[in-house]
Structure 1
């Protein structure tokens, strides 16, 4: 098993298997700061992980989705598992869209404790955000081992996953 495959497997062990993960999600604000520069915005979200993608249930009219519509570049981080990554956010549609049926069942199971309280499935704006990872670094045991991964090319990188 090469370094990418090992890191990818560890990500699945840490975030996969139907878990509800709290990750920080960073987007770029729709409006610039006073100096005209892009302004990052970060918030915690519950996310389900599968095969290099974090999935979040949300509302298409939320600030994060408006920001992603304007600039799909995002970053995620987990302090608990010491993982940081950059990727692309995509609204994959209404949770009740037949194309999302299998994924919806997984999300309902992972988020069972609160899913119905937070999601109004009858609202077509109740959607699924897919965060497709591009590059990331998994830090094992406080720098004992670092896995710098390029998810697009499915290779390990030598110098950092997130620049």
Structure 2
């Protein structure tokens, strides 16, 4: 097993296996700051992880989705784990769209304790956000071992990643 595969296995063990994960999701505001620079915006979301992608059930008209519509480049961080990554976010559409049936079932299972209380599936703006990872760094045991991962090319980046 190479270093990329080893890191991917650790990510799967940490975030995968049907877990409900809290991650920080950073987007870019739709308006510029007073100094005319982009404003980063971060929030905690519940996410399900599978195959280098985090999935979130959200509302299509929320600020984060409007920001993603304007700029799909996002960053995430594991709230309890030392994992940071960049990626591309995409609105997969209404949770009840037949094309979303398989992932919806997984999300309902992972988020079973609160899913129905927090989501109105009858509202077509109740949607699934997919965050496809691009590059990331997994920090194991406070710098004991670092995995700088390129999820697109499926390789470890020896020259460093993101922190």
TM range (shorter): over 0.9
Deviation of residue 158 (structure 1)?
1.2
Root-mean-square deviation over aligned CA pairs: 0.8
Partners of 1:60 and 1:46 lie apart in 2 by: 16
Q: Which residue of 2 aligns with 1:60?
A: 60
Deviation of residue 79 (structure 1)?
3.4
Structure 1 residue 83 and structure 2 residue 87: aligned?
Answer: no
Q: Which residue of 1 aligns with 2:142?
A: 142
- Alignment map for 1:1-163 (pairs within 5 Å): 1-162=1-162
Deviation of residue 161 (structure 1)?
2.1
The structure 1 segments of at least 4 consecutive aligned residues displaced by more than 2 Å after TM superposition are none
Partners of 2:19 and 2:96 lie apart in 1 by: 21
Partners of 1:162 and 1:120 lie apart in 2 by: 36
Counterpart secondary structure, 1:41: strand
Q: Unpaired runs of 5+ in structure 1? A: none
What does the per-residue CA deviation read over 1:11-60, in whole Å, with 9 as the maximum and x for residues that have no partner?
00000000000000000000000011000000000000001000000000
Partners of 2:79 and 2:119 lie apart in 1 by: 26
Instruction: Check whether the contact 2:61–2:125 (CA below 8 A) recurs between aligned residues.
Output: yes
Partners of 1:89 and 1:44 lie apart in 2 by: 15
Taking structure 1 as the reference length, the TM-score comes to 0.98
